[in-house]
Amino acid sequence: MGWTDERVDTLKRLWQDGLSASQIAKQLGGVTRNAVIGKVHRLGLSGRATPSKPARPAFKPPRAQRPAAQAPSQPRRIAEQVTAQAPAPMPLPVRVIDEAPGSATVLTLGAHMCKWPIGDPSSDNFTFCGRRQTDGPYCGEHASVAYQPAQSRKRSGPNDLARSLRRYI
């Protein structure tokens, strides 16, 4: 079915009344929701008299404050004791290696040589370590710098643990 002048006028009126494209398609019959949307855009009908969804209020009234909690329940005390006994993780020391120029260049670097870069790659005196590999592509000394041991997960404070436990109590 085509868009006659009468159907276009009905479309414009229904669109201004705030009906959705699906509702307009049902009333017109013989057209799909997408056909209605396409015709609305081709006609330039962007504004509506009333929106299809009511606008959300810009101001949200403040919530009523919760009453102050009385004495903490038994699980909270247990949670606070558990976290108070947990030791704080010790930061790992930073290893600094004094790098002397290496023995291998890009052209002389072999398959079993340490590939730890030494110096600035854009300079002429850029080299690689060149010692024998032990762990992956690096020698033992450079592997200890490149691969840090896994750190234990950071423990949450007593407030975070108590908050998590409250969900299940």
Q: Write down the pLDDT at residue 72.
A: 55
- Cα separation, 35 vs 41, whole angstroms: 10
pTM: 0.33
Chain segment 55-79, per-residue pLDDT in tens = 666 677 777 777 766 655 555 555 4
Domain segments of the chain: what residues? 5-43
The residue among 98 and 137 whose pLDDT is bigger is 137
Q: Write down the pLDDT at residue 25.
A: 92
Q: How confident is the model at residue 9 (pLDDT cuts 50, 70, 90)?
A: very high
**DSSP-assigned beta bridge partners for residue 118:** 127
Q: Which of 21-30, 42-51, 139-148 has the highest mean pLDDT?
A: 21-30
Q: Write down the pLDDT at residue 165.
A: 75
How far is C-alpha 64 from the chain's CA centre? 32
The residue among 40 and 79 whose pLDDT is bigger is 40
Q: Is the pLDDT of residue 27 over 60?
A: yes
